[in-house]
Amino acid sequence: MANSAQARKRARQAVKQRAHNMSQRSTLRTAIKSVRKAIGAGDAAAAEAVFRKAQSVIDSIADKKIIHKNAASRYKSRLVSAIKGMSAAA
């Protein structure tokens, strides 16, 4: 347990920041799931539209360093390739 006033304050701040980061990460996962759901539905135009919205969420969360920039790039790349694969198969 924190012994100094400064350490106690940092512990309080860490709890608050962790809750905020978890909320942001949940938003990220929801955005990715919505794109995957649109891909599963088979509508390329809708998937593309949902991906554009998700892309801004992914970039925003990477800018805040909640996820690594390479992880954000990987998510976007895999979603784009899934959308392109869907339209090629159709």
For the domain that residue 68 is a member of, what is the CATH number?
Answer: 1.20.58.110
Looking up tokens 């891909």 gives 39
Kindly report, residue by residue over 32-78, the tens digit of the pLDDT. Answer: 999 999 999 998 999 999 999 999 999 999 999 999 999 999 999 99
Q: Taking a C-beta distance cutoff of 8 angstroms, is the pair 31, 54 a contact? A: yes
**Phi, psi (degrees; rounded to nearest 5) at 65:** 65, 30
What is the Rg, in whole angstroms, of the alpha carbon atoms belonging to the chain?
Answer: 18
Cβ proximity of 61 and 67 under 8 Å: yes
Parent domain of 33: 5-89
Q: How many domains does one find in the chain?
A: 1
pLDDT for res 33: 98
Give the predicted TM-score (pTM) of the model. 0.86
